[in-house]
Structure 1
Amino acid sequence: MLGYVAVLGVGYVLGTKAGRRRYEQIVGAYKAVTTNPATKSVVDAGRRKIARSVSPDPMATITEIDDITVIEPPKEK
């Protein structure tokens, strides 16, 4: 029984180390993609396209909250 518990313990430790290594690989790849200037320009272009389709009026007043979020006042009818 003690041998079985020892094997499980070693398997757990090795598995968590491998899992942590893979997690760090995934996080590293995510950061590399999201900090890439080409990715940022594609995302910004997509946001602009969506904003134009939602509010085609180019003269609309927009209030920036932060780098990503903006508020547009309601349109008068």
Structure 2
Amino acid sequence: MMRLLIGVAAGYVLGARAGRGRYEQISRASKAVANSPATKKVVQISRQKLSDSLNTQPRLEPMKPLDEKTTILVPQDQLKKK
């Protein structure tokens, strides 16, 4: 999504005939958006969700501990929902 927005902004900047002033205005706005904490948070969350969806390791859930030092872990999809 971010690449699309950057591409659209770049295309507009390169195709605009408004002059250097408009170019500088768009450049400042795009830098402000790219460097904003909200944008960085959205990108971080999106990357984490993508990473989680592509992860081949099963998520493990703890079962009843056998003793103080031993806990059995099983994949989430093998747990029986009660």
Structure with the larger RCO, 1 or 2 (CA within 8 Å, 6+ apart): 2
Shorter-chain TM-score tier: 0.3 to 0.5
Q: Which has the higher helix share?
A: 1
Q: Which has the higher strand share?
A: 2
